Structure 1
Amino acid sequence: MRRIDAIGIGLGIFIIGGLAYLGFQVFGLDGQQAGIWSQVVLVIGLIGWLATYVLRAVGNNLTYHQQREDYEQAFFQKRLEELSPEELAKIQAEIEQEQQSH
């Protein structure tokens, strides 16, 4: 994440909190109650974001893992394309022999 992205996210959250505060005041809450409820909304949002992050981390569904899998697939595909037909047939025969032995 770039520095400007982090600044933008922080500014966006600050604006959302301010809009929630103003929204609660429009619906009739006094300043203190509006502040409390806007903080509740932001904390619930933070907990929700954290929960999605934890679920993605536990399931290895993060961007890093996906990029690594894509790289490995591309690497093995390129290596496979570089093999001669004889080498490919030899590897295929080895795989079939190994499957029959199990």
Structure 2
Amino acid sequence: MRRIDVIGIGIGVFAAGGLLYLVFAWAGLDGLSAGIWSQVVFVAGLLGWTATYVVRAASKKMTYYQQLEDYEEAVLQKRLEEMSPDELAALQAEVEKERLEEAQAGDK
């Protein structure tokens, strides 16, 4: 995110707070109550936004993790494409051998 974007978002949030205050004042609340309720709305919004961030971070649904996963998949795909048929057959035999060993270990 660029610096100008952050400045724009800050100004937008500031303007939204003022507008929310005016809406509460227009609805009949006195200045103090309108200020308190506009703060309540903004704190609730901030807590909700923070909760979504925590959930995304905990479940690894963030952009960084997705990019890392895509990169690792692309690297593995490229390595598979570069392998000769003999190397692929050897790799497949090794994978099958490991699967059988795991299955036998699970049966015990």
Q: TM-score range by the shorter chain?
A: over 0.9
CA distance in 2, matches of 1:36, 1:29: 10
Stretches of structure 1 lacking an aligned partner (at least 5 in a row):
none
Cα deviation for residue 99 of structure 1 reads 0.9
Question: Which of the pair has the greater relative contact order for Cα pairs under 8 Å at 6+ separation?
Answer: 1
TM-score by length of structure 1 reads 0.92
Q: CA deviation digits over 1:68-101, x for unaligned, max 9? A: 1111111111111111111111100110111112
Percent identical pairs in the alignment equals 64
Alignment partner of 1:23 is 2:23: yes
Cα deviation for residue 21 of structure 1 reads 0.6
Q: How does 1:78-89 map to 2 (within 5 A)?
A: 78-89=78-89
CA distance in 1, matches of 2:10, 2:80: 46
Q: CA deviation digits over 1:41-74, x for unaligned, max 9? A: 1011001011111111111111111111111111
| Runs of 4+ more than 2 Å apart | none
CA distance in 1, matches of 2:4, 2:84: 49
Q: Which position in structure 1 is the counterpart of 2:94?
A: 94
